Amino acid sequence: MYQTTIAKAVDIVGIGLHKGTPVKLRLEPLEAGSGIVFYRSDVDVSIPLQPENVVDTTMATVIGKNGHVISTIEHLLSAIYAYGIDNVRVVVDGDEIPVMDGSAASFCMLLDEAGIVKLEAPKKVMIVKKEVTIEKDGKYVKLIPAKDLKYSFTIKFPHPVINKQAYTLEFTKEAYKNEIARARTFGFLQEVQYLRSKGLALGGGLENAIVLDDKKVLNPEGLRYNDEFVRHKILDAIGDMSLIGMTFIGNYEAFAGSHHLNHLLTKALLENAENYEVVEIGDEKAKELEKVYV
């Protein structure tokens, strides 16, 4: 099984969630061993995708370098990870990844357009060897050793539409596209109004998020899945965990997890080499793993 990149450069333009201004996004192929690299074309700054470059996790995962940031990277990263892409350059001309419709569906379409090619280098895979848990205020995220890759998430909100929801994704690229990619981010009307008063969420609206008042969903088209809320949390988690830097084998589990807890989990995992093993997989050893990206 070999490392991959995209077959050709592709472009898309969308609105940034917080500033509400157009952002141009371009994905470009990179050679083997490059990893995922973000580039701010407006300020000529490259930011490799590494946990130490995460500068904020309050409302999204934000990376930065030399005072320049790129926000809301998790939806795009979720799609890149699901497609098994190891090396790609993400070029933006501003400080946000465009929010598109609030899900990863547009990014999946962009990657389908780009295509995927194998490179002449073996794929690296991280095997989770020890359980790693981050717990705070009754919330937790954890990685558990296993022979497969699953994401299990439970949420609980005091809202009649959400209540308690749980979902487990048995990860494959196809399962991700069918079960997770179209799940949109969500927010509450009073929160949106507060954020806008602070100059944030200026690009947020019913066209790129599920918005709820005290009793119901305000989007006229309704939900894409009855449990769209917890499915989006898995979408976020996949994007956040991609900061590990490679495909991993193990089970992710969360109760009321967040970008912040996910960031702490990736750091805790990587801080102790006894927690994991990195292996290079040649094609003859990767028959089962390769199937998940078909």
Q: What is the CATH number of the domain that holds 80?
A: 3.30.1700.10
User: Which amino acid is residue 3, in one-letter code?
Assistant: Q
Tally the domains of the chain. Answer: 1
pLDDT tens, per residue, the chain with 294 residues = 899 999 999 999 999 887 788 999 999 999 999 999 999 999 999 999 999 999 999 889 999 999 999 999 999 999 999 999 999 999 999 999 999 999 999 999 999 999 999 999 999 999 999 999 999 999 999 999 999 999 999 999 999 999 999 999 999 999 999 999 999 999 998 887 777 787 777 788 899 999 999 999 999 999 999 999 999 999 999 999 999 999 999 999 999 999 999 999 999 999 999 999 999 886 666 666 777 776
Q: What positions carry a catalytic annotation?
A: 259
Residue-range definition of the domain harbouring residue 71: 2-291
Q: Are 122 and 281 contacting, i.e. CB atoms less than 8 angstroms apart?
A: yes
Contacts of 172 (CB under 8 A, 6+ apart): 291, 292, 293, 294
